[in-house]
Every structure is written in structure tokens, then in C-alpha cells.
């Protein structure tokens, strides 16, 4: 590691701590040549995921694109940006842990719909209408009806602590 001030090649780590919820290590360093202190971050380097689209095209996975889709679905809904970011982070981590190189677009879409179904039904229906490419109003009504049935079905209610 070269000093950002003088370019000196030798430094000493004076402090290390976990950062970004355990996904990185923050290190405070001091240059042995000029005494300048600076911070570096160390994290696991993962290979890029490639999304396989429905038509077979391939595109590099973008967390920003995932986040944009979530934000669009939750637009003008009582869902905080923090919750949306948490969902995007969780889905990204799941994909990186489950898939090595390629991830089918269906795996992403299903995870997003499951997450939105739990936090906001309107956002879920908005996302589902684009993801599932509704062509007719009947398809839209069918999804809303299923959603309403799940809400009234006591067998699908979770017990406290589960």
C-alpha cells in the first residue's frame, strides 16, 4: 500500500475494525516515511454475476438496477428508503451466495416479489404487473384476488416467534 501523500511504500496498521456490517475491514494506517495517517478498506472480491434474460441475452448484474425497480414499485407508498435498501442488499447477498456466475432473471424477480409481498401489497402488485407482463386486466385481477385470499386465509398466518 503506497501512502496517498508522499507515495512511500511502507506503512504500519494502527487500528483495525469490522465495517459495513461485517462485510469489510477498516484499517487506519500511518506512513513510516512521512507520518501521514489514512484509512483503507478490505473486502472480499467476488466475481461479477451475469443475469440471463428471458430471451437468452446476458447482462452484468446491477444492484443499482435492482434498487431502481424496488424504488419504482414503492413510489408514493409508505415504505422507507432504508427498507428498500435493506431488501436490495439482502437479495444481492442471496444471489451472490447462491449463484457462481450466472443468475436467471426469474430468480431475481421472484425474490423481489416475495419481499414486496411482505412489506406492501400495492408495491407487490405494481412490480408483478411489470415482471409478469400483464397483457389483460383479467391477469391483474387474478393476482389481486389471490393476494386478497391469502390475507383472509388463516392457515397462511404466521404464529408469533416463527
Over residues 31-87, the pLDDT tens digits come to: 999 999 999 988 777 778 999 998 999 999 999 999 999 999 999 999 999 999 999
CA atoms within 13 A on the CB side of 111: 19
Cα–Cα distance, 107 to 91 (Å, whole number) = 10
Convert the pLDDT of each residue in 113-160 to its tens digit.
999 989 998 898 888 877 776 556 566 567 667 666 665 555 555 544
- What is this structure's pTM? 0.60
- Distance from first CA to last CA of the chain, Å, rounded? 48
The per-residue pLDDT for 64 is: 93
Q: Which pLDDT band, with edges at 50, 70 and 90, does 162 fall under?
A: very low
Amino acid at each position: 500500500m503506497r501512502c496517498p501523500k508522499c507515495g512511500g511504500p511502507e506503512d504500519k496498521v494502527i487500528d483495525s475494525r469490522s465495517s459495513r456490517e461485517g462485510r469489510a475491514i477498516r484499517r487506519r494506517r500511518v506512513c513510516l516515511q512521512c507520518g501521514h495517517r489514512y484509512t483503507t478498506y478490505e473486502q472480499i472480491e467476488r466475481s461479477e454475476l451475469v443475469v440471463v434474460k428471458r430471451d437468452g441475452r446476458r447482462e452484468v448484474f446491477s444492484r443499482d438496477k435492482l434498487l431502481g425497480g424496488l424504488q419504482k414499485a414503492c413510489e408514493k407508498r409508505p415504505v422507507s428508503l432504508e427498507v428498500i435498501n435493506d431488501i436490495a442488499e439482502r437479495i444481492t447477498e442471496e444471489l451472490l451466495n447462491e449463484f457462481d456466475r450466472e443468475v436467471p432473471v426469474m430468480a431475481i424477480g421472484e425474490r423481489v416479489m416475495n419481499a414486496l409481498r411482505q412489506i406492501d401489497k400495492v408495491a407487490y402488485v405494481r412490480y408483478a404487473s411489470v415482471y409478469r407482463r400483464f397483457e389483460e386486466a383479467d391477469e391483474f385481477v387474478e393476482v389481486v384476488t389471490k393476494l386478497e385470499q391469502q390475507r383472509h386465509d388463516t392457515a397462511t398466518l404466521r404464529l408469533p416467534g416463527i
